[in-house]
A and B are shown apart, each in its own frame.
Chain A
Amino acid sequence: MSTADAVAGVLWVGVTFYTVFGGADFGGGFWSLAAGRGERAHRVRELIDWAIGPVWEANHVWLIFVLVVLWTGFSEAFASIFSTLFIPLSLAALGIVLRGSGFAFQRTARTQTARNAAERLFGLSSLLTPFFMGTVVGAIASGRVPVGNAKGDAVTSWLNGVSILIGLLFVATCAYIAAVFLVSDARRARAADLERYFRDRALGAALVAGALAVAGILVLKGDAEYVYDRLTHEGLPLVIVSGLCGLGALVLLARGAPRGARPLAVGAVVAVVWGWGVAQFPYLLPETLRIDQAAAPDATLTGVLIVFGAAVVLVIPAIVLLFSLAQRSMIEETGAPEPR
Chain B
Amino acid sequence: MLDVAIPIASELEAARSQMAFTLGFHIILASLGVGFPLVMLIANYRGLRHNDPVALLLARRWSKVVAITFAVGAVTGTVLSFEFGLLWPEFTGQFGDVFGVLFAIEGIFFFLEAIFVAIYIFGWERLSPWKHFWSGVPIAICGIGGAFSVVAVNSWMNQPQGFTLKGGEVTDVEPLKVIFNPAVPYEVPHMILAAYLVTGFLVASVYAVGMLRGRRDRYHRLGLLIPLTLAVIVTPIQFAVGDTAARSIANDQPIKFAAMECVQETSTDVTEYIYGRCTSDGVKGGIGIPGFDSFLVGWSTSTEVTGLDTVPPDDRPPANTMLHWAFDTMVGICSVLILLGLWLGISWWRKREIPGSRWFLRAVAISGIASVVALECGWIVTEVGRQPWVVYEIMRTEDAVTGASGIWVTFAIVFALYTLLGAATVITLRTLARRWREADGDDEADVPYGPSGEAPPALGGAS
* B-binding residues in A (CB < 8 A): 39-40, 43, 46-47, 49-58, 60-61, 63-65, 67-69, 71-73, 75-76, 78-84, 86-87, 89-90, 93-94, 96-97, 100-101, 103-110, 149-151, 154, 188-194, 296-297, 299-300, 303-304, 307-308, 310-311, 314-315, 318-319, 321-322, 325-326, 328-330, 333-334, 337-340
Band of interface residues on B: 35 or more
A107-B448 in contact (CB<8A): yes
Residues of B within 8 A of A43 (CB): 456, 459
Residues of B within 8 A of A57 (CB): 71, 74, 114-115, 118, 449
Q: Does B452 contact A (CB under 8 A)?
A: yes
Residues of A within 8 A of B420 (CB): 101
Residues of B within 8 A of A79 (CB): 85, 89-90, 92-94, 96
* A-binding residues in B (CB < 8 A): 68, 71-72, 74-75, 77-79, 81-82, 84-86, 89-90, 92-98, 100-101, 103-105, 107-108, 110-112, 114-116, 118-119, 121-123, 125-126, 138, 170-175, 402-406, 410, 413, 417, 420-421, 424-425, 428, 431-432, 445-463
Least CB separation from A107: chain B residue: B446
CA distance A84 to B405 in the complex (A): 10
CA distance A72 to B111 in the complex (A): 18
B403-A83 in contact (CB<8A): yes
CA distance A54 to B70 in the complex (A): 13
Least CB separation from A303: chain B residue: B101
* A interface, over-half SS: helix
Residues of A within 8 A of B447 (CB): 107-108
A338-B458 in contact (CB<8A): yes
CA distance A303 to B174 in the complex (A): 10
B75-A82 in contact (CB<8A): no
CA distance A68 to B84 in the complex (A): 10
B448-A93 in contact (CB<8A): no
Most central of A93, A109, A321 by chain B CB within 10 Å: A93
CA distance A106 to B93 in the complex (A): 37
Given A78-B85, A97-B79, A103-B71, also A73-B460 (CB < 8 A): no
Which residue of B90, B95, B138, B458 contacts A191 across the interface (Cβ within 8 Å)? B458
Interface pairs (19), CB distance under 8 Å: A52-B452, A54-B448, A58-B114, A61-B111, A64-B110, A71-B84, A75-B100, A78-B85, A80-B93, A83-B86, A89-B86, A97-B78, A100-B72, A108-B447, A296-B170, A297-B172, A311-B111, A314-B108, A315-B111
User: 16 extra interchain contacts, Cβ-Cβ under 8 A, other than A53-B451, A79-B89, A149-B90?
Assistant: A47-B455, A57-B74, A60-B74, A64-B81, A83-B404, A93-B79, A104-B428, A149-B89, A190-B458, A191-B458, A193-B461, A193-B463, A194-B456, A297-B173, A334-B454, A337-B458
